[in-house]
Each structure stands twice: as C-alpha cells, then as structure tokens.
C-alpha cells in the first residue's frame, strides 16, 4: 500500500509540474517587454526582459587555482583528473589552516572564506549549485571550503569546478558526540560542525539552501554576526565569525548541556539567549539573512517577495517539492525564480525565452 501511495503521489507531482510548465509557457507569451524603469521597480513580474547569458557561461573553463597552498599534506582522490584538481585537506591539518588564514586574511576581523558542510551528499543539486555560485559571484571569497565525508560529484559539480577556481575540499567525519553527549541526528552533527569550522578557520558559514543576494563585506568588521529568523531566536543558517571569536567559543561550550531530544534549542535559542547576556560580543541583524521565515514559505514558493533589503534568503528546500534547472528557472514567476535569476543572470526579472 505504501508503494502504491508513493507512486500515486509521484504521478500527481509530475502532472503538476507538466501543467505548471504549460501554464508558464502560455503566460510568458502574453507578457509584454519591460521598460527600464519597470525592471528596477517591478516585484510582481508583469513584464519580461531579454536575459543575458548566465555568469558561469563566460567564466573560466580551465581550472586555474587562485593560490597555491604549500602544505605537503594535500590528499589524493580517485576522481577524474579534472575534478581531482580541486585540492583536499583534512579538517585537523594545522598547516592547511594556518596557510589558508595567512592567504585569505585582510584588515577585517572576519576573513573572506566561505564554508559549507556536506554530510552524506554525493551529488550536487541545482539548489546546492545556486547557493555556492551565489557566494562565488556575489561575495567573491578568497576560498570556498566544502567540509564533508563524501566526494561530491555530478554534472553540476563538474560545471562548478570549471568556473569557480577557489574551491577546496575539507575531509571530516560528522561529529559523533560533544562534551560526552552523543549526537544522533545528522542535522545536529552539522550544527556542531559549522561552529567548529568558523571557530577554527574564521569566515562565513552558509547552509546549502541559503542564497546570498548582496555582499556581506559591511558586516565583516564585526567579530561575530547572526540574524534573527524570529524575534525569539537567532538563525544558524548563515554565520559570520572571526577566527576563535569569543561568542562562538561561549556558544560551543553551551553544548555541554546538549539534549538530542530537543530540536533546535542549542542551534537557535541558545545563541539568542547568549546575545542577551553578551551583546558586546555579537552583532545581530534583524531578519536580513532569513526573510521570509519557515512559517511563511508560501512567499518563496508561490508568491513574489521583495527581498531587496535582504543580505541573503533561506529557501527551505526540504519543504519544496519541485525540481528546477537552468532553463525553467528563467520563467518561474515566484520568489524562487527571481532569486535564481538574480544569481545566475544578474537580473531578477522573467526572461523572454
């Protein structure tokens, strides 16, 4: 019975996608072309534009590493020669940490290094690509570190490594415990791993469905930054931290009372409570990293939200049923569509073809 229900559900989903595509194609034909003023101010998307080529279409097509880390602890992989040119180091490699920090440090407390944590992910999805590409093209980081226990691959990974020359793989296993407390949920393992990443390297942590919309450089002057998702919590989907920041160390130490049965407490409620106790150690943004929030995903999936005041947006892909690609996203008349076009084409408006 479960298999029948699953097949029936998948069939309905496919029919929904086909009907949506037909409706979108008809609606696209009926849209007029935008004037320049409409392109600037339009958030209901009642007109269309001629979109430029995607950024990555004109990006470098040969791997040319931005810098050379001189440590002799570079790890070998069994991948194809092209993809294996993405360097890989162990998370605990002190030489790698020191070399990277030296190469990527500037006058700001938070180094321009971006971190992702990919546990159990083998193939890069469209939304993974969109997130990483948004940081690459908008933040222009010195390095993008992919922390994980698997070798991510696939067509989109191949496309990414051809265009982004600052990728580094960081091999690490999901943490199994913290301060003697066993961690069972993979989400909680990732919560701990992201704190360890920004604590030990410094930089910017991004969830794999967090999309950057404008540069974070104005916030790199603070030792530590989080944003509200709700008034009573702070989101950990985007974290900015100097290396060994006081706030991240205090937050990490609070995991001594970690209870795996309580969802989200140490990842969102604890940092909010700590921000009330230690306001001098943290800069708090008012929902500029997460807006709309988890309870209003319809504004992302079904409507058009004006995100011009956001630094970033969380797409909450785990609640989204549809798949997208570089073609259909050009005509998607939702916040999801405008965000993807902004990242891929530098133009949020609906494409004419």
Give the predicted TM-score (pTM) of the model.
Answer: 0.88
Which of 53-67, 93-107, 219-233 shows the lowest mean pLDDT across its residues?
53-67
pLDDT of residue 72: 79
Buried b (16+ CB within 10 A) or exposed e, 55-67: bbeebeeebeeee
Rounded distance, CA 90 to CA 158, Å?
22
pLDDT of residue 73: 80
On the 0-12 / 13-18 / 19+ scale of CB atoms within 10 A, 336 is buried
Q: Is the pLDDT of residue 79 over 80?
A: no
Contact, 49 vs 352, CB < 8 A?
A: yes
* DSSP 8-state code for residue 76: P
Contact, 205 vs 242, CB < 8 A?
A: no
Q: Which two tokens stand for residue 118?
A: 């990919």
Rounded distance, CA 33 to CA 49, Å?
6
The domain locations on the chain are: 2-54+292-351, 57-215+239-270
245-288 confidence digits (pLDDT tens): 999 999 999 999 999 888 889 999 999 999 999 999 999 999 99
Give the residue with greater pLDDT, 45 vs 275.
Answer: 275
pLDDT of residue 258: 93
Strand segments, DSSP code E, in the chain are: 48-49, 88-90, 113-118, 143-148, 167-171, 177-178, 181-182, 203-206, 210-212, 224-227, 235-241, 283-285, 312-314, 350-351
The mean per-residue pLDDT over the stretch 286-296 comes to: 97
90-111 confidence digits (pLDDT tens): 999 999 999 999 999 999 999 9
């Amino acid at each position: 019975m479960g298999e029948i229900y699953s097949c029936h559900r998948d069939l309905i989903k496919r029919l929904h996608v086909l009907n949506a595509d037909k409706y979108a194609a008809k609606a696209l034909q009926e849209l007029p072309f935008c004037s320049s003023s409409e392109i600037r101010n339009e958030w209901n998307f009642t007109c269309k534009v001629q979109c430029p080529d995607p950024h990555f279409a004109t990006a470098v097509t040969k791997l040319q590493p931005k810098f050379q880390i001189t440590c002799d602890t570079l790890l070998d992989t069994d991948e194809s020669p092209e993809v294996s040119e993405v360097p890989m180091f162990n998370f605990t490699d002190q030489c790698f940490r020191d070399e990277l920090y030296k190469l990527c440090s500037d006058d700001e407390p938070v180094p321009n290094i971006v971190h992702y944590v990919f546990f159990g992910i083998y193939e890069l999805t469209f939304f993974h690509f969109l997130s990483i590409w948004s940081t690459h093209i908008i933040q222009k980081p010195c390095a993008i570190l992919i922390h994980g226990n698997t070798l991510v691959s696939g067509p989109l990974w191949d496309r990414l490594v051809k265009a982004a020359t600052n990728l580094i793989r960081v091999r690490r296993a999901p943490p199994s415990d913290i301060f003697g407390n066993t961690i069972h949920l993979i989400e909680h393992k990732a919560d701990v791993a992201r704190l360890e990443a920004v604590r030990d390297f410094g930089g910017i942590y991004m969830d794999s469905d967090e999309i950057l919309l404008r540069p974070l450089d104005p916030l790199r002057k603070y030792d530590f930054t989080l944003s509200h998702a709700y008034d009573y919590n702070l989101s950990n989907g985007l974290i900015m931290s100097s290396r060994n920041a006081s706030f991240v160390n205090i937050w990490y130490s609070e995991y001594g009372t970690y209870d795996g049965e309580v969802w989200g407490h140490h990842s969102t409620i604890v940092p909010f409570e700590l921000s009330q106790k230690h306001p001098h150690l943290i800069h708090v943004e008012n929902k500029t990293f997460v807006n709309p929030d988890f309870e209003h995903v319809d504004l992302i999936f079904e409507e058009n939200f004006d995100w011009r005041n956001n630094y970033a947006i969380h797409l909450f892909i785990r609640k989204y049923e549809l798949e997208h690609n570089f073609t259909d996203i050009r005509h998607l008349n939702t916040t999801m569509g405008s965000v993807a076009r902004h990242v891929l084409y530098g133009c949020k408006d609906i494409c004419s073809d």
